[in-house]
A and B are shown apart, each in its own frame.
Chain A
């Protein structure tokens, strides 16, 4: 299994440009999430999904859209990039197992985004 994969690894955008960060997992996980990591602030949840066709907002959703058309893929769209969105973005996935264990979230390798 490849686990959780993300593309691209690095991206530079100009203010106002739009782009999509890709995330895919081959572990048949129901749950997928997007986090951003900024220095001194830990990881903050942007959006998450509990299954295909179902998404919800996390702590910092403004300026981002998501969709979940398949179990495997969970793309994150930046609608109009701003310098405040410069960050490292991590996608994660986990099982739905009735909370009896195996709650680990598996993280992708991350995308380092710079907005000029």
Chain B
């Protein structure tokens, strides 16, 4: 089955600087890679996702890059703000007719230092 590794497990960044979180996956057939943000005591919420036919996707201060050959993908947050502090999870899935099962990384706790 799929295995997703995520690094680092914790990350502290000065407000205004950039943060980068990296993930690798094992199953070359996986074609969908979402990133979820989870605030303390809350549910995971999708912040950005990318499909395997795209190398990069950007949404305002958030971007994701995918390298299919190396089987890794990364989350980039620029101009970080205090509200970016949370736990971030990457995930991978093989979606044919939809997405019923995600394999998650172990999470990165991001702390933005004011």
Q: Which residues of A contact B (CB under 8 A)?
A: 30-33, 35, 40-45, 48-50, 58-59, 90, 94-99, 101, 103-105, 107-110
Is chain B's binding surface mostly helix, strand, loop or mixed?
A: loop
Report how far A40 CA is from B97 CA in the complex, Å. Answer: 31
17 of the cross-chain contacts (CB-CB < 8 Å) are: A31-B99, A35-B104, A43-B44, A43-B102, A50-B98, A95-B98, A96-B97, A96-B98, A98-B98, A99-B95, A103-B93, A103-B98, A104-B99, A107-B44, A109-B42, A109-B43, A110-B43
On whether the beta carbons of A97 and B97 are closer than 8 Å, the reply is: yes
Chain A positions within 8 Å of B31 at CB level: 99
Q: Which of B1, B100, B105 has the most CB of A within 10 A?
A: B100
Name the one of B6, B44, B51, B105 contacting A90, with C-beta atoms under 8 angstroms. Answer: B44
Chain B positions within 8 Å of A33 at CB level: 100-102
Chain A positions within 8 Å of B96 at CB level: 98-99
On whether the beta carbons of A105 and B43 are closer than 8 Å, the reply is: no
**Beyond A90-B44, A94-B100, A99-B97, 7 additional pairs, beta carbon < 8 A:** A43-B89, A50-B97, A98-B96, A98-B97, A101-B51, A104-B49, A105-B34
Q: Which residues of B contact A (CB under 8 A)?
A: 1, 6, 9, 31-32, 34, 42-46, 49, 51, 89, 93, 95-107
On whether the beta carbons of B98 and A31 are closer than 8 Å, the reply is: yes
On whether the beta carbons of A99 and B105 are closer than 8 Å, the reply is: no
On whether the beta carbons of B99 and A94 are closer than 8 Å, the reply is: yes
On whether the beta carbons of A105 and B102 are closer than 8 Å, the reply is: yes
Report how far A45 CA is from B99 CA in the complex, Å. Answer: 13
Whose C-beta in chain A lies nearest to the C-beta of B2?
A59
Report how far A35 CA is from B93 CA in the complex, Å. Answer: 14
Min Cβ gap A12→B in Å is 17
Report how far A115 CA is from B1 CA in the complex, Å. Answer: 29
Q: Which of B32, B95, B98 has the most CB of A within 10 A?
A: B98
Min Cβ gap A26→B in Å is 16
Whose C-beta in chain A lies nearest to the C-beta of B104?
A42
Min Cβ gap B81→A in Å is 23
